[in-house]
Amino acid sequence: MHALIRKCAAAHVRANSNFIHISTSTAPSIKETGLYGFHHLKTPKGFQRFVDDAIERSQELVNYIAGMPSSPEIIRAMDEISDTVCSVIDSAELCRHTHPDREFVVEASKASLRVNEFLHHLNTNHSIYKAVNKAEKDNNSLTHEAHRAARFLRMDLEKGGIHLCSEKLDRANELAIDIIQLSREYNENIITDPGHVDIFPASKIPKKLHHLVSPIYRNLPGSSKGSWGLRDKTKEKGFRLATESSTLQGFLQCASDAGVRKVAYVQGNSVPHANLEVLDKLIATRHEFAQNLIREV
């Protein structure tokens, strides 16, 4: 459900703020509070229970919505589903991108994938679609903000294919999950194989950027490779820039040498080569997803 995912993305700032707070010396330990303040997340395996509880509560709310309560109650229930699901997604995404413990990262990745699959299950729920349509048509009991929320929810459900026949809807959900997995593979490839560019001479990199690079040396033409203690005279100093996205972005924003900026940009957008195949699959999958929706119009 795209509206829920967008809300989750907006909440990353809150999650990140909690993460920073927990890392201070005066904050309670993770054993006392759980990661990001969630008691389930005292251990990596806690992500499993975190997801289970979120899905269970969301299903209760879906069943409530299916009973067609008042329009304001429908919107409130949808908002609680959003908060419940996003608590898991925000925590899992922050953890898998920042936590130093590999076990936490693995469990967070599993949790994120499970919740995203559950979101696509919600996309197939016609009771939600009917209830949201009912709320959108209610011009009397909803506030302006609630009415807009109903309209955007209905539009997002239709973008996900809720209006399709059952066969096409099942295929749309399969493709949507494939798109998530391919997108994740694309990002993971960048992390594991970011690439690098070597820049010579060292004078091309101002001191304010030295924290982004590592010093390297190369032999000068005609120098004696076997001379010990003569590195300053026989070798040239340069810098190696790892072209992973966050480092590259900061470097490109501050580097003044046009030639250096060009080689860094080109290299940063030329690796990893494994993503060429991933991109081909992603394009084909997105194309089929779009065609699946277009043919129904």
Q: Are 239 and 216 in contact (CB under 8 A)?
A: yes
Helix (H), strand (E) at residue 70: none
The Cα–Cα gap between 111 and 93 comes to 9
pTM of full prediction above 0.85? no
Tokens 């990893």 sit on residue = 272
Please, what are the domains in the chain?
2-163 (1.20.1050.40), 196-271 (no CATH)
pLDDT value at residue 292: 87
pLDDT value at residue 27: 47
Could you state, in chain order, the average pLDDT of each consecutive group of 10 residues for the chain (297 residues)?
A: 46 34 44 87 96 97 96 96 95 92 93 90 90 94 94 90 87 89 89 90 95 93 56 80 89 94 92 93 96 71
How big, in percent rounded to 5, are the helix, strand and coil portions of the chain? 70, 5, 20
Q: What contacts 270, CB < 8 A, 6 or more positions away? A: 195
